[in-house]
Amino acid sequence: MTLEEKLKLFEDCAIAEASHQSSVMLAQYRETLEQMYASKIEQANKNAENYVITETDRIQREHNRALSMEQNKIKRDIGEKHHQVKEKIFADVSARLLEYRKTADYLNALADHIERVKAAVRQNPTDIFVAPGDSHLIPELKKRCGVEILVSETDFLGGIRAVVPAKNILIDYSYASLLEAEKNRFII
């Protein structure tokens, strides 16, 4: 083998070895890039999933907050309507009560209340009061019940109130108290 042939063989071996090493390095580099690409894709998918979960939670919270606000508004509106209806009902009851106070049944009811008070207090001195609007009924009530009846300084929508000063007792058959108690218990 001549020197030239030896050089050619050496050159071919060196080139073949360099090509082989280059191919191996390129394959390793490609494998590393593919692993990095797969890792980046996996990380991007995880980030996308987390974003979807985070945004879904945020939208759900916003929806719940809006729903809660709307429910509260509806409850307030219903409460206001209930209050309006309740006030209207009790305004109607008050108007009917004023009409009732003009009847003979009302006079009989007052006399009945006075008799109940007399039975409850027995011999204790008692002040019996009627509402200022019922002062015209005092003569008839005195005649029926045989007791002194006074006109109250405050209007209590009819009925009577009795005070037993010795025992510091108030007996309240006033329609204002009964109406207020019903108003407090009234539920629509």
Q: Are residues 29 and 58 in the same domain?
A: yes
Residues 108 and 175 reside in one and the same domain: yes
Do 1 and 21 lie in one domain? The reply is yes
**Residue 135 CB contacts under 8 Å (≥ 6 apart), including other chains:** 151
CB 106 within 8 A of CB 100: yes
Pair (95, 124) in one structural domain = no
48 and 66, same domain (yes or no): yes
What gap in Å lies between CA 21 and CA 90, rounded to an integer?
101
Q: Domain of 165?
A: 104-185
Q: What CATH number corresponds to the domain at position 177?
A: 3.30.2320.30
- Summarised one tens digit per residue, pLDDT across range 63-109 is 999 999 999 999 999 999 999 999 999 999 999 999 999 999 999 99
pTM across the whole model? 0.62
Domain check: are 15 and 29 in the same one?
Answer: yes
Strand 127-130 versus strand 149-151 pairing type = parallel
Q: Write down the pLDDT at residue 166.
A: 86
Q: Give me the number of domains the chain comprises.
A: 2
Q: What is the pLDDT of residues 10-55, one digit of tens each?
A: 888 888 888 899 899 999 999 999 999 999 999 999 999 999 999 9
Boundary residue ending a domain (67, 100, 133): 100
CA 116 to chain centre: 44
Q: Which two tokens stand for residue 157?
A: 């929508």
- How far is residue 184's CA from residue 159's CA, in Å, rounded to a whole number? 19
Question: How many C-beta neighbours within 10 Å does residue 171 have?
Answer: 17
Q: Which of 81, 100, 119 is the last residue of a domain?
A: 100
What's the whole-number average pLDDT of the chain?
92
Please check whether residue 111 is in contact with residue 157, taking contact to mean a CB–CB distance below 8 angstroms: no
